[in-house]
């Protein structure tokens, strides 16, 4: 009888691990002290639970120290024990040991279900354990059931985290016209000493921490971005004891800013007529690139001889302004030619404008 009820309680604890981890996006968010109670509804046994969780995200492991109180039909409470959990791509691998039931192994799936069996145990007849519940990084409630010698055993539990860091709300990324990205959030009730901001360049990189700001702040400007690139951001609050889960992500396309500071992505290649024209000795002209391109800007005289190479480089999409200084050239007609070839497609472009130098 003693083994039967202890085994019932174990599967409850096994379920609890599943509920805590199944949908947590930031593993560090579940570290810290938790407390609550358990109830075996089949046999009406109850008790208190306290739990301290430590997470080593770098090594993909978690450990928990449990103290389970209450009695099981007059039996004494269970001594404190430890658990070890390892993260994998498909779920969390749980492996526990007890002198009462031996080794217990199972996979906790990220969709909130688990499957576990008892091995090397003197107890036989233990069937599939299934659990479900609701949870986040600071509270957890759920139910469990499993087959024991043909009987369906059921129970429920609840836990809350001590002094949690709640998730920052209303997190938003906004593209500024100067090319930077403004991040803002609401931190009412978050209980954070700092905020940690992660960024991913869509389709190219995974999330990496880019900043850690004071818990009194509610905004941050990310100036280290590429115009035209799509970025995805998330944020978590943290203190010396624990962290919040990640916020909802927010994505944004950074504004492309040309040399003259005007925002926007041009719709087509173009080379504008120079101004002033006629000129002495300098004139200005603009050109636009709808895609990242390799370009050459060359000046020819009326006889078709090249007299100046203004630029030969690869530029991102945008609007550009250049100056042609002809102080060392004689008066006359000159031609400026732009040639461009996209590095992103098969588009090519060539255009020539006529200028007049009068000294």
pLDDT in tens, 153-209: 788 878 899 999 999 999 999 988 878 899 999 988 789 999 999 999 876 778 999
Average of per-residue pLDDT across 74-98: 54
Percent composition of the chain: helix, strand, coil (DSSP 3-state, to 5): 5, 55, 35
Q: In angstroms, rounded to a whole number, what is the distance separating the alpha carbons of residues 78 and 80? A: 7
| CATH annotation of 270-357 | 2.60.40.2550
Three-class secondary structure of residue 291 per DSSP: coil
pLDDT in tens, 261-291: 555 678 789 999 999 999 999 998 989 888 8
Residues of the chain with CATH 2.60.40.2550: 270-357
Average of per-residue pLDDT across 241-245: 90
- The pLDDT value recorded for residue 27 is 77
| Average confidence score pLDDT of the chain | 78
Q: In angstroms, rounded to a whole number, what is the distance separating the alpha carbons of residues 90 and 195? A: 29
* Structure tokens that stand for 248 in this block: 């909802």
Contact between residue 159 and residue 51 where contact means Cβ atoms under 8 Å apart: yes
- What is the C-alpha R_g of the chain? 33
Tell me the CATH number of domain 169-253, given options 2.60.40.10, 1.10.10.10, 3.30.70.360, 3.40.50.300: 2.60.40.10
Q: In angstroms, rounded to a whole number, what is the distance separating the alpha carbons of residues 142 and 77? A: 22
Q: In angstroms, rounded to a whole number, what is the distance separating the alpha carbons of residues 336 and 308? A: 9
- Beta-bridge partner residues of 81: 66
Contact between residue 321 and residue 286 where contact means Cβ atoms under 8 Å apart: yes
- The pLDDT value recorded for residue 196 is 97
- Nearest alpha-carbon partner for 146 in 122, 110, 119, 115: 115
- The pLDDT value recorded for residue 117 is 53
* Structure tokens that stand for 61 in this block: 């492991």
- Nearest alpha-carbon partner for 13 in 53, 71, 60, 68: 68
Residues of the chain with CATH 2.40.128.20: 2-161
Local confidence band at 246 (pLDDT 50, 70, 90 cut-offs):
very high
Torsions phi, psi for 6 (to 5 deg): -65, -40
215: left (phi over 0), alpha (psi -120 to 50) or beta: alpha
- Beta-bridge partner residues of 96: 104
Superfamily of domain 2-161: Calycin beta-barrel core domain (2.40.128.20)
Query: What is the pTM assigned to this prediction?
Result: 0.61
């Amino acid at each position: 009888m003693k083994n039967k009820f202890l085994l019932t309680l174990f599967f409850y604890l096994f379920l609890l691990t599943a509920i805590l981890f199944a949908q947590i996006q930031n593993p560090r968010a579940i570290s810290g002290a938790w407390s609550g109670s358990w109830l075996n509804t089949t046999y009406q046994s109850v008790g208190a639970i306290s739990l301290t969780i430590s997470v080593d995200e770098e090594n993909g492991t978690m450990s928990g120290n449990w103290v389970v109180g209450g009695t099981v039909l007059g039996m004494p409470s269970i001594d404190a024990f430890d658990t070890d959990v390892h993260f994998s791509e498909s779920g969390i691998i749980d492996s526990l040991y007890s002198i009462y039931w031996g080794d217990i192994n199972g996979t906790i799936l990220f969709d909130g279900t688990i499957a576990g069996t008892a091995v090397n145990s003197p107890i036989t007849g233990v069937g599939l354990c299934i659990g479900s519940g609701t949870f986040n990084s600071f509270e957890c409630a759920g139910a469990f059931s499993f087959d024991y010698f043909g009987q369906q055993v059921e129970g429920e539990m609840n836990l809350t985290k001590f002094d949690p860091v709640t998730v920052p709300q209303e997190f938003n990324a906004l593209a500024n016209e100067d090319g930077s990205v403004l991040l803002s959030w609401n931190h009412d009730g978050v209980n954070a000493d700092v905020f940690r901001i992660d960024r991913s360049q869509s389709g190219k990189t995974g999330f990496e921490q880019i900043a850690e700001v004071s818990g009194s702040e509610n905004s941050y400007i990310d100036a280290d971005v590429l115009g035209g690139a799509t970025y995805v951001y998330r944020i978590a609050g943290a203190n010396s004891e624990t962290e919040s889960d990640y916020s909802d992500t927010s994505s944004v396309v950074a504004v492309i800013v040309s040399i003259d500071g005007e925002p926007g992505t041009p719709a087509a290649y173009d080379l504008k007529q120079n101004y002033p024209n006629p000129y002495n000795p300098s004139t200005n002209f603009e050109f636009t690139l709808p895609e990242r391109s390799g370009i050459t800007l060359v000046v020819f005289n009326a006889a078709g001889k090249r007299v100046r190479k203004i630029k030969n480089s690869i530029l991102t999409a945008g609007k550009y302004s250049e100056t042609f200084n002809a102080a060392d050239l004689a008066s006359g007609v000159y031609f400026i030619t732009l040639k461009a070839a996209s590095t992103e497609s098969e588009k090519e472009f060539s255009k020539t404008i006529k200028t007049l130098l009068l000294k």
